[in-house]
Chain A
Amino acid sequence: MNHLPLIIKREYLNKVRNKSFIIMTFLSPIIMVGIISLVSYLSQLNNDTVNTINILDESGLFTNHFEDTKGLKYKVLTSVSLENAKKLTEESEVYGLLYIPKINMIDELSESITFYSEDSPSITVMRDVENIIEDKVNVIKLEEAGIDAKTIEELRINIDTKLETFEGKKTSKLGSGLKLAFGGAAGYLLFMFIIIYGNMIMRSVIEEKTSRIIEVIISSVKPIKLLLGKIFGTTLAGITQFTVWIILMLVLTSAISTIFGVDTSAAQSQQQELLVQSSGTDTQHIISEVFLELNNLPITNLVIMFVFFFIGGYLLYASLYAAIGAAVDSETDTQQFMLPIIMPLMLGMYVGFFTVIENPHGTVSQVFSYIPFTSPVVMLMRIPFGVPLWQQILSLVILFTTFMATVWFAAKIYRVGILMYGKKPSYKEIIKWLKY
């Protein structure tokens, strides 16, 4: 008699037919896309505003150097006193007043320039203004030192280091970003999946306890089968929901950008600009490089390992969630047991996003990519940077061995816990259960 498919089917259908599940499945992408569109719309709106800055330049050095940009207009005030200029600026409700006093030595400028405004000015505006002043001052200082600014400009050389692996594969710094994006996305996906569907498993175990059906079921099915059926059924429901989410997101995003003409990528455009600036190349170049890098990524390795680490990591945590569900009577009692689960997950994320970025093959990254509770997230982030196969396999072996141990442990707690009512268990109590 094989109960497992029956249990999986029931768990799956029960989840998928649940009203709040259906609502969440269809509402979440709409909300997500809505928020993204809103953010990009708002940032466009923000970009469109033009700020005017009044300039009172008593030194006379910068009069013609302030050129209007997209978001900033400069208005040079002449032959007014500082007091009047301030008054004028305040009344005309422009962004602010930049005051450059009369100076004897050029070095005095570094301390003596003042910006008057009603509210504190934005950092980007100040950076723009300061850059203009600094550029000019640098030129003046170079001239004072007897060096022609033009000569300097001619002498400047732009270094674009070419990266190449020992096998002769060409890579680029852009590739690192791409790898990070891939690894980060994989790790984050797993992280979200564990939290959302781990909780779902836990709730469904608690539901069986509170509705008192558990003993009826347990008299026909071995607890371990029920546990596994629950995990698999919920996972399938989770995969269904994730797939719907991704499809809906794609459809909605393209629909919105065609209908409303909102460029949803505008939110990222600033980073792209930065990227363009730093690599000093044009967009065309970048796109071709992206494709080169995509080719260079160990895609097959990544996909296969993603599947394995995803399954291993998810099952590891899912069994723990199920054990917690079995140990408690209601969801409010789960708090004390959630911390030990969330902590290693968060740790994995932090190590992934800080240490792996810094040094994908450093000691910390390596150690955490072996520890089973952090390895799925950390290793998934490391793999795009090229991890030797033996390391990946070792990490997987550790992960799945631990998974076996946790399932055994969870099944023990589950077996005893599901029949315990009314007691708020402590850790001590649960350890005692292992001996029953």
Chain B
Amino acid sequence: MNNLLVASEVTKSFGDFKALNNISIEVPKGSVFGLLGPNGAGKTTLIRIINQITMPDSGEIILDGRPLQPYDIQHIGYLPEERGLYKTMKVGEQAMYLAQLKGLSKTQAKERLKYWFDRLGIDGWWNKKIQELSKGMAQKIQFVVTVLHQPKLLIFDEPFSGFDPINANLIKDEILRLKDEGATVIFSTHRMESVEEMCDHIALIDKSNKILDGKLIDIKRAYKSNTYKVGLMANASEDIKSILSEKFEVKPTSFKTINKEQQYNIKISDKDSVNELVNYLTTLGQLTHFEEVIPSVSDIFIETVQNN
């Protein structure tokens, strides 16, 4: 069994509005799975169904090989996008309460909270009230509470909102560490650079339908356009662009460099090989920069959603 979580043909409507239409996803064990989509696409609804907050109209969720059961909530840690804590409760008390709701015993909860508070350097906060903390501080508590019961499946909806870059990095590292320790992570965000950094798999949902999913690297391969970013110091003052345009699709581009070269994006056809391009370029001048253009998640996102 390689998939920790499988959603098969999940459909959910709210009145006349269809929030999810036959969505199927497979989340491999030990992966970081990016659940992407524009606002209102249905991501949160899907996440809520996985958390058994909402029931699907049809379809099935399989966790670890078995249909999802009510007690499975203790195997899931969920950090919702709309999140908060009881403002008037003390940090320690609140964390203990939420931990016990997840099925931890009092002693277990206390032990693990101490570990996490030490780890994140927040052990002085135990007796503070949430309303005395800053938003970022409260988010840290929220993160601890989400992972405290050592769930198999972690679901983060916009986990970095409200964090400064330093703390965002800290949390990112913690998430990756949890993954290395065996947890599977579903990760929903609009920050494409963190998807790029963290996700192995992605699924893209738009207008209630899944329009793309798979291993990130495979998707990138499928979306690559045989385009290369080239920097060239021309031998003479020839018009390189028009020369190149005879054989390839050429677009000017720009990147940071220390040379004064000409910079182009060159797209070759499927018949052409990369070596030929390189050889040809060296005849025109000194090649200072050569790099395959790999589509970013952001590009893929925008392209697929716009084409949908």
Indicate, yes or no, whether A interacts with B: yes
Verify B87–A211 contact, CB threshold 8 A.
yes
Verify B82–A215 contact, CB threshold 8 A.
yes
Partner of A6, one of B74, B85, B101, B142: B101
Separation of A421 and B80 alpha carbons in the complex (Å): 14
A88 CB to nearest chain B CB (Å):
71
List chain B residues, Cβ under 8 A from A432.
15
Give 1 or 0 for each of A202-237: 1 = CB within 8 Å of chain B CB.
000001100111011111111000000000000000
List chain B residues, Cβ under 8 A from A169.
none
The yes or no answer to B98 lying at the interface (CB within 8 A) is yes
The yes or no answer to B83 lying at the interface (CB within 8 A) is yes
A211 CB to nearest chain B CB (Å):
4
List chain A residues, Cβ under 8 A from B255.
none
Verify B74–A1 contact, CB threshold 8 A.
yes
The yes or no answer to B140 lying at the interface (CB within 8 A) is no
Verify B86–A211 contact, CB threshold 8 A.
yes
Known: A6-B100, A436-B14. A215 touches B88 (CB 8 A): no
Separation of A219 and B101 alpha carbons in the complex (Å): 10
The yes or no answer to A150 lying at the interface (CB within 8 A) is no
The yes or no answer to B33 lying at the interface (CB within 8 A) is no
Separation of A353 and B294 alpha carbons in the complex (Å): 81
The yes or no answer to A18 lying at the interface (CB within 8 A) is yes
B306 CB to nearest chain A CB (Å):
28
Give 1 or 0 for each of A171-214: 1 = CB within 8 Å of chain B CB.
00000000000000000000000000000000000011001110
Q: Which of A334-353 contact B (CB under 8 A)?
A: none
The yes or no answer to B223 lying at the interface (CB within 8 A) is no
Separation of A353 and B132 alpha carbons in the complex (Å): 50
Partner of A216, one of B48, B103, B142: B142
The yes or no answer to A70 lying at the interface (CB within 8 A) is no
List chain A residues, Cβ under 8 A from B14.
436
List chain B residues, Cβ under 8 A from A213.
83-86
Known: A213-B84, A436-B14. A219 touches B73 (CB 8 A): yes
B146 CB to nearest chain A CB (Å):
8
Verify B103–A211 contact, CB threshold 8 A.
no
Query: Nearest CB to that of A432 among chain B residues?
Result: B15
Verify B74–A216 contact, CB threshold 8 A.
no
Separation of A348 and B81 alpha carbons in the complex (Å): 45
The yes or no answer to A127 lying at the interface (CB within 8 A) is no
Verify B51–A10 contact, CB threshold 8 A.
no
Verify A215–B98 contact, CB threshold 8 A.
no
The yes or no answer to A435 lying at the interface (CB within 8 A) is yes
The yes or no answer to A239 lying at the interface (CB within 8 A) is no
Known: A1-B103, A216-B83. A436 touches B88 (CB 8 A): no
Partner of A220, one of B82, B84, B86, B101: B101
Separation of A222 and B51 alpha carbons in the complex (Å): 11
Q: Which of B88-133 contact A (CB under 8 A)?
A: 88-89, 97-98, 100-103
Partner of B97, one of A10, A219, A419: A10
Verify B97–A216 contact, CB threshold 8 A.
no
Verify B82–A421 contact, CB threshold 8 A.
yes
Partner of A219, one of B76, B85, B87: B76
Separation of A220 and B101 alpha carbons in the complex (Å): 6
The yes or no answer to B258 lying at the interface (CB within 8 A) is no
- Highest count of chain A CB atoms <10 Å: which of B53, B70, B73: B53
Give 1 or 0 for each of B39-83: 1 = CB within 8 Å of chain A CB.
000000000100101000000000000000011011010111011
Q: Which of A1-20 contact B (CB under 8 A)?
A: 1, 3, 6-7, 10, 14, 18
Separation of A212 and B80 alpha carbons in the complex (Å): 9
Separation of A215 and B74 alpha carbons in the complex (Å): 15
Known: A14-B88, A211-B87, A421-B82. A220 touches B102 (CB 8 A): yes
Query: Nearest CB to that of B85 among chain A residues?
Result: A213
Verify B53–A419 contact, CB threshold 8 A.
yes
Query: Nearest CB to that of A221 among chain B residues?
Result: B101
List chain B residues, Cβ under 8 A from A218.
51, 53
Separation of A248 and B142 alpha carbons in the complex (Å): 42
Give 1 or 0 for each of B131-158: 1 = CB within 8 Å of chain A CB.
0000000000010010000000000000
Query: Nearest CB to that of B77 among chain A residues?
Result: A219
Separation of A6 and B73 alpha carbons in the complex (Å): 17
B13 CB to nearest chain A CB (Å):
9
List chain B residues, Cβ under 8 A from A3.
101
Partner of B71, one of A1, A10, A14, A436: A1
List chain B residues, Cβ under 8 A from A208.
86
Known: A1-B74, A221-B101. A14 touches B15 (CB 8 A): no
A342 CB to nearest chain B CB (Å):
28
B278 CB to nearest chain A CB (Å):
54
Verify A216–B98 contact, CB threshold 8 A.
yes
Query: Nearest CB to that of A19 among chain B residues?
Result: B88
Known: A1-B71, A436-B15. A219 touches B51 (CB 8 A): yes
Separation of A251 and B278 alpha carbons in the complex (Å): 98
List chain A residues, Cβ under 8 A from B76.
219
Verify A435–B83 contact, CB threshold 8 A.
no
List chain B residues, Cβ under 8 A from A421.
82
Separation of A261 and B192 alpha carbons in the complex (Å): 79
Verify A220–B73 contact, CB threshold 8 A.
yes
B280 CB to nearest chain A CB (Å):
58
Separation of A207 and B85 alpha carbons in the complex (Å): 10
Q: Which of A56-114 contact B (CB under 8 A)?
A: none
B72 CB to nearest chain A CB (Å):
11
List chain A residues, Cβ under 8 A from B85.
211, 213, 216
List chain B residues, Cβ under 8 A from A419.
48, 53
Verify B101–A212 contact, CB threshold 8 A.
no
Q: A207-B87, A215-B53 are in contact. List 7 more A-B contacts (CB 8 A).
A: A6-B97, A216-B79, A218-B51, A219-B76, A220-B73, A220-B101, A421-B82
The 6 closest A-B pairs by CB, nearest first: A212-B84, A215-B80, A211-B84, A219-B78, A220-B101, A219-B51
Cβ contacts A to B, 17 pairs, < 8 Å: A6-B101, A7-B101, A14-B88, A14-B89, A211-B84, A212-B82, A212-B83, A213-B85, A216-B78, A216-B84, A216-B85, A216-B145, A219-B53, A219-B76, A219-B78, A220-B102, A419-B53
